[in-house]
Each structure stands twice: as structure tokens, then as C-alpha cells.
């Protein structure tokens, strides 16, 4: 593991451990959950489910605040600059935490120095999809046929993403790298615009979020493969990319919660325990399951996951020669 990631993690624990402890009175005021994405996005939906569950469980007022822009950067910076008292928290996807720091030289925050991981909530696969009404894609019914087309037409097959460096981008770049083909990346300002571009035939394919499953079931989009090694339960007949000849292909994003670095350890642990408890509630599970696979972790395990993904994404970005600055 890279030394700088280890050092940053050590800084987190030192800051948390030396903070004053006051969890006995926590919470005694409203708690903000800052989200870097627009209302209706997967991250926003999860944040609101978590806020509702924690409000009922902890008898406190958890309020979602959307602070959009720069692939989650503005929300992350808001939380890193907040008082480390447990009253300003971040709900983020993995792109803001394990991709942005690699791509942007002047990001303004270091996730391993400036944030204290609390817990993941969900792990979410992507679904590689094409528009069957797109004349260029009407005969594409598998990953193999798509790759064959890309190989026969270098730099002609296009794929969309939610923005430069977004994990949708990395998924498309990974497929191109593994298949030794040249495909053209087209970035959009979010997952919804990418999906709209797929429907309007502006692009050939995309790794869509689970929000597009209803479009796939209705036939407006054709799912070819799931990005994780496990198939998605709502699309049981759709193989994973790894089943189609790319055994090491396994890309997903998570939604997780963070506090500012320096937040008292007992508050971080309390929030972790409360999140783990609410996701066992059948009502909360019913609301979360359409959004992804429920996944909670200890702060230590979450920190290790972030460290590992930073390493993995660094290698992937290097191999795919992805650059935004």
C-alpha cells in the first residue's frame, strides 16, 4: 500500500483520538447531511433514507442539504471545513473520495486527512446498456459483439459518463483497455444527462446506474452486462462483464457517510452503530434495496476500503491514460 495513504490514515486516527469526548450529550441540535448531488440522484435518495432512519432512531433532526457541483467537491469541502463536532456530515459516492484526489491536482481536500469515514451504506453496480432504436446499435446483443464493432471501427464507438473521471468513465475506459480497443469517451454533467443522451442516440453505449433498470425492463434500453462480478437481482438474465471474457472486470460505486477529521471517536462509533442498526429495519431495507446492495462497515474497514480503492483507481487511471487537468 502506498506510503502516503498509510500516513494520511494515521493522521485521521490521531486527530480523532485526541478530540474532546462529548457523545453523552450527542445529539442535542439538528445534524446536517451534506450531499454533493442533485435531489433524485442515488446519493440524494440514500441520504434521505438514512436521515429519516437516524431521525427516528436517535430522536434527533437529520436534515439533507444539497450542495451540488464539481463531482461532489463542493459538498466534501463544506464538510472538511466544518467544526468536527458531529453536526455536519457528508454523504458521498466513491468518485468524490477515491477518484477525484487522483485526477485533480488542486482538489482542496484530502479524503484521508480531512474526513473521518463513518460507514458505507450501499454498494451499487452499473449496467452496460445500449439503445436498441439506435441504428448503430440495433445488432449489438452482447459485450462480445460490442467489442467486435469497436475493434472494427477504431475511435468510432462512443460511450457516455457522468463526467470526466467519474466511475462510469472508468468503467468504459476499463472495458476499452481490457479489450484493446479504441473507444471515444463523451462526458456529461451527471448520470441523468448521460442516460438522456443514450435515449436520444447521441452516444452508442454507457454504464448506466440502477435508475435505468425500468427503461431496460420496458425495452427502451438493452442491458448487455452488469459491472460487478455478481449479477443484479432485478436483471437475473443479464451476465456480468466478467462472465463475458473479462474475468478481472469488477467496478461499482458505494455510497458512504463521513464526518470532519477530528470528530470525537465515540461520536463516529455511535453514528456507525446507529447506521448499522437502521439498515436492519425492514422498512429501511425495502427503501434501500432498489438503490443497491446494503453494505455497512466499521470505520476501520471503511478506511481500508478507501485506501485500497485509491491504489486500484490510480493504476486504472494510469493504464487508461485518463486526465482532466
Measured from the Cβ of residue 312, the count of other Cβ atoms closer than 10 Å reads: 14
Q: Evaluate if pTM is beyond 0.85.
A: no
CATH tag for 3-124+252-320 (out of 3.90.1150.10, 3.40.50.1370, 3.40.50.2300, 3.40.190.150): 3.40.190.150
CA distance 299 to 292: 20
CA distance 101 to 109: 8
The cell numbers describing 29, all together, are 441540535
Distances from the Cα of 215 to the Cα of 195, 218, 291, angstroms: 10, 5, 15
Contacts for 281-285 with beta carbons within 8 Å, 24 or more apart?
281/53, 284/49, 284/53
> Which pLDDT score, from 0 to 100, does residue 8 have?
55
The cell numbers describing 146, all together, are 460490442
CA of residue 237 relative to chain centroid, distance: 24
Dihedral class, residue 315 (left if φ above 0, else alpha if ψ from -120 to 50, else beta): alpha
CA distance 97 to 113: 11
Locus of grid cell 476499452: 176
Distances from the Cα of 290 to the Cα of 2, 87, 213, 220, angstroms: 36, 29, 10, 19
Query: What residue spans define the domains of the chain?
Result: 3-124+252-320, 127-244
Would you say the CATH fold of 127-244 matches that of 3-124+252-320? yes
pLDDT in tens, the chain (325 residues): 455 555 555 555 545 444 444 567 899 999 999 999 888 888 999 999 999 999 999 999 999 999 987 778 889 999 999 999 999 999 999 989 999 999 888 888 999 999 999 999 999 999 999 999 999 999 999 999 999 999 999 999 999 998 888 899 999 999 999 999 999 999 987 888 899 999 999 999 999 999 899 999 999 999 999 999 999 999 999 999 999 999 999 999 999 999 999 999 999 999 999 999 999 999 999 999 999 999 999 999 999 999 999 999 998 888 888 877 5
Question: Beta strand 205-208 with 293-294: parallel, antiparallel or unpaired?
Answer: unpaired
CA distance 57 to 59: 6
CA distance 153 to 208: 23
CATH number for the domain running over 127-244: 3.40.190.10
CA distance 65 to 88: 10
CA distance 267 to 7: 23
H/E element, 107:
none
Dmax (CA) for the chain in angstroms is: 65
Amino acid at each position: 500500500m502506498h506510503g502516503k495513504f498509510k500516513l494520511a490514515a494515521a493522521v485521521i486516527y490521531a486527530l480523532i483520538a485526541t478530540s474532546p469526548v462529548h457523545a453523552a450529550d450527542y445529539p442535542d441540535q439538528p445534524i446536517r447531511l451534506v450531499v454533493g448531488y442533485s435531489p433524485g440522484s442515488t446519493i440524494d435518495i440514500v441520504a434521505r433514507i438514512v436521515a429519516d432512519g437516524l431521525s427516528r432512531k436517535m430522536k434527533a433532526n437529520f436534515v439533507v442539504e444539497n450542495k451540488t457541483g464539481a463531482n461532489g467537491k463542493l459538498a466534501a469541502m463544506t464538510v472538511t471545513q466544518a467544526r468536527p463536532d458531529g453536526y455536519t456530515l457528508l454523504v458521498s459516492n466513491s468518485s468524490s473520495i477515491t477518484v477525484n484526489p487522483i485526477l485533480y491536482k488542486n482538489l482542496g481536500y484530502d479524503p484521508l486527512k480531512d474526513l473521518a469515514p463513518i460507514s458505507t451504506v450501499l454498494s451499487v453496480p452499473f449496467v452496460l446498456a445500449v439503445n436498441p432504436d439506435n441504428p448503430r446499435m440495433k445488432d449489438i446483443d452482447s459485450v462480445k459483439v460490442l467489442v467486435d464493432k469497436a475493434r472494427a471501427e477504431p475511435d468510432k464507438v462512443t460511450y457516455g459518463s457522468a463526467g470526466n473521471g467519474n466511475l462510469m468513465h472508468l468503467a468504459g475506459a476499463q472495458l476499452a483497455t481490457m479489450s484493446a480497443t479504441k473507444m471515444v469517451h463523451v462526458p456529461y454533467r451527471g448520470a441523468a444527462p448521460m442516460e438522456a443522451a443514450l435515449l436520444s442516440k447521441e452516444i452508442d453505449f454507457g454504464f448506466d446506474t440502477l435508475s435505468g433498470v425500468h427503461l431496460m425492463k420496458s425495452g427502451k434500453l438493452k442491458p448487455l452486462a452488469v459491472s460487478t462480478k455478481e449479477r443484479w437481482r432485478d436483471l437475473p438474465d443479464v451476465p456480468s462483464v466478467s462472465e463475458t471474457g473479462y474475468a478481472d472486470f469488477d467496478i461499482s460505486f458505494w455510497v458512504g457517510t463521513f464526518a470532519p477529521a477530528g470528530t470525537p471517536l465515540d461520536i463516529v462509533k455511535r453514528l456507525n452503530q446507529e447506521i448499522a442498526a437502521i439498515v436492519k429495519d425492514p422498512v429501511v431495507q425495502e427503501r434501500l434495496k432498489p438503490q443497491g446492495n446494503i453494505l455497512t462497515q466499521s470505520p476501520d474497514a471503511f478506511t481500508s476500503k478507501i485506501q485500497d480503492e485509491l491504489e486500484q483507481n490510480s493504476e486504472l487511471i494510469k493504464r487508461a491514460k485518463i486526465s482532466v487537468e
